[in-house]
Amino acid sequence: MKKIRQGIGYKKERVVLSDVLPYEVPPFFSNRHFYDFLTRNNIELIDKPNGAEIRFKNNRSKTLERIIKIVFGINFTKQVQYNDGNNYRYITLRPEDLQKIPFKFRISHKNKDYRELTVVHPINQLLLVSFYESYKNTMLYYCDKSKYSLRKPSKIASLKYFKDSTFKKHRVKNPEIEIIETNDMEYKALKTFFSYQKYSNIYKFYESNSFHKAEKGFDKLLKFDISRCFDSIYTHSLSWALTNKNIVKENLGTNKNTFGGVFDKLMQLMNYNETNGIVIGPEFSRIFAELILQQVDESVEKELKYKYKVEYDIYRYVDDYFVFFSKDKVKDEILTLYKLKLKEYNLFFNDSKTEEYSKPIITRITIAKENIRELIENTIIFKFLENDDLPPTGIKYYESRDVITNYKKILAATKTSYKDLQNYFLATIFNKTKQLIGKFQSEERILINHLLEESELKEELLIPELSDDKKNKISEDLFTLKKDIDLEKKKIVKYQKQLVKKFLEIINLTFFVYSVLPRVSYSIKVCHILFRIIDFVKNQEKTRNSLCQKPRYEFILKNIDIGFSFDDKHTIFKTIYDGINIVLNKNRATVHSEIETLYLLPILNELGKNYELSEKTIKIHFKEEIEQNMSYFLIISLLHHIQRKDKYDGLRNILKEKIRKKFTKFESRKTEDTLLLIDILTCPYVGSNDQEVKEFRKEVLELIKFFEPSISNTEKESIIDDISIFQNNWFAKWEGSDLGKELNTKRGHNVY
């Protein structure tokens, strides 16, 4: 589907939409409403010699002042000052007020291992807005040093993709008739603040002309990467890279005002003054690493005595290197130089992932992907049978179990693993599912258009003044059209019968591929597939209901059975429900695998109330977290899932107790505490009714000593009401949540 591009005006705050959050955060968590808050209230952070100044709209609203202090982790007793001449309010901050503890969450990474990703504090995000505004051009300048880099900022992004509704109403020839379809466009989400050269994802490089040209020009390829790159980066090393290590050490006092010094200090502030290692996950961290690795590349190129693009070729994607060469002595010098230059920044090779290939330079993964592509092309699951008896030529595999068996054979033959191919296989399933649904919808539109055309011709035939010649012509057209309609009706009926079985096979195949190795990125792709099927089933029903409300188009429903029967719909939805249940029962959540599950819970909400998990199932799956420590992400995701349903009252009480426990040790410098506080103050699900919700909000604010001692209960309730209605959603989206929109914002954002 062709993407609609809409130009965007430059707003410096858009950094928080694109470069701040890790890709792997759970659904319904975003900076979208935080961005709105910043822009609507003119909030900015101004650097001062002895700290900073947070400025905001001067509308005399005490509620805004209170929220500013909550969201940015500012002491509740801090004095707010007024600059009436320039029409803003401000709070003066000391350097230590900017030093925050990030929220770190774990996701499954390798076998029995995890990656620790980071969400930085809102005030540090505001610092990033100011930093990008001041240094965006400097960042571009220093990111343009290396000839080897495959992914580097090249200019400020000037376009975004968007959609204003999850559904597009696809009109047929008659403007009154709507076929409701899922829309693929992204929703208020910038991929990155900068546009990037040359590839947004590493797999695009493998399919590029650059790779194929290097493959033809050289006999061998060496692949290596940096071991624990982001964990190993010393923040001061950026200044060393951009200037000179010895000069920096001799001039520490003046260095802090340079670009490198400012970026270094910013990375420390958001990581509680840590200098060893940088936060992992956000785009700005990749830029920080890129700035250092650009200088390493440039140093290597200058010292190499061999001709670039003639005797060797080098490509680097973030911290993954591809060295093409023909002579081993060239490779040896390149490796020696890289080891020396990287060591200067305390960076080292990951020897376990170093691999060398000879011509034909085709990796095991490339071979496996091609085999998977052929496997999918040779299955009937994603194709409609035009003839009930005979499959198309070359089709061999009829059911998901056939595909699964051959998938395992491919892994064994190519000596690859599930983790090498999960993303590719799930992406292929998603694209083929889209095509299958698109094919059916296209045929459906053709039939409806022909039925409308037939109706118009029949009406025209009744006109008394019509000449005999005209009547004969219309009659001939009707005869031809009737034959086309009969053929199309048969085709639609045939396709409808096949669709249910195909959906069941797709669902079973998807859950098999996913269940062997659950990971967050795979969970997102699984959700795309399942949501596409659920949405299609529900949208067919919406289209039928829309036509039922227009009696004059009753003839369409007499000719085409739009939608699924109750039994067919239940079979599809129950298969999805069972698949999720199996995953939950097989893989108990741990502190570093909960995010995977948090993507599956909203799918159950999409199925409807007949497919809800029991409270017991949820408690068993999250047993470890319930007995120990619940993360902010788990708390908000479970609250979003259970809403105000009575069947989950026991779980709601557990969640409330976990929140109380966290807030007895509340620290505004902790990102997790700050995010949880503002989200709980607007969450409608912390009670089974409005009064319970208000009482819990009051309890929370009293726990953290938010109120002045002299304030009455009536005043407290008024303050709570003002905060809760100031903005419905903050970081967690409680109201108006739309899984389709949230999933679409994820598409194309994964860097690996």
pLDDT band at 591 (very low <50, low <70, confident <90, very high): low
Distance CA 505, CA 512 (A): 11
* Chain CA centroid to CA 402, Å: 32
Res 246: pLDDT: 54
Rounded to the nearest 10 degrees, how much is the dihedral formed by the CA atoms of 353, 359, 364, 365? 90
pLDDT band at 542 (very low <50, low <70, confident <90, very high): very high
Q: Which helix (H) or strand (E) element contains residue 151? A: strand 151-156
Candidate from 58-62, 288-292, 748-752 with smallest mean pLDDT: 748-752
**Residues of the chain with pLDDT > 90: what percent?**
74
Res 224: pLDDT: 96
Sign of CA dihedral 592, 593, 596, 602: negative
> How does pLDDT run across 370-387, given as a tens digit for each residue?
999 999 998 999 999 887
> How does pLDDT run across 179-223, given as a tens digit for each residue?
665 555 444 456 789 989 888 778 888 888 999 899 899 999 999
pTM of the model: 0.91
Distance CA 150, CA 170 (A): 39
DSSP string for 468-493? HHHHHHHHHHHHHHHHHHHHHHHHHH
Res 552: pLDDT: 84
Question: Mutual orientation of helices 566-586 and 594-607 as an angle, nearest 10°?
Answer: 160
Sign of CA dihedral 44, 45, 47, 50: positive
Sign of CA dihedral 385, 391, 395, 401: positive
> How does pLDDT run across 63-121, given as a tens digit for each residue?
999 999 999 999 999 999 999 888 999 999 999 999 999 999 999 877 667 899 999 99
The answer to whether the beta carbons of residues 280 and 118 sit under 8 Å apart is yes
Res 244: pLDDT: 66
* Mean per-residue pLDDT, 601-624: 94
Closest CA to 496 of 508, 506, 488: 488
The answer to whether the beta carbons of residues 576 and 607 sit under 8 Å apart is yes
> How does pLDDT run across 726-735, given as a tens digit for each residue?
999 999 999 8
Q: Which residues pair with 466 in a beta bridge?
A: none
Closest CA to 476 of 457, 494, 463: 457
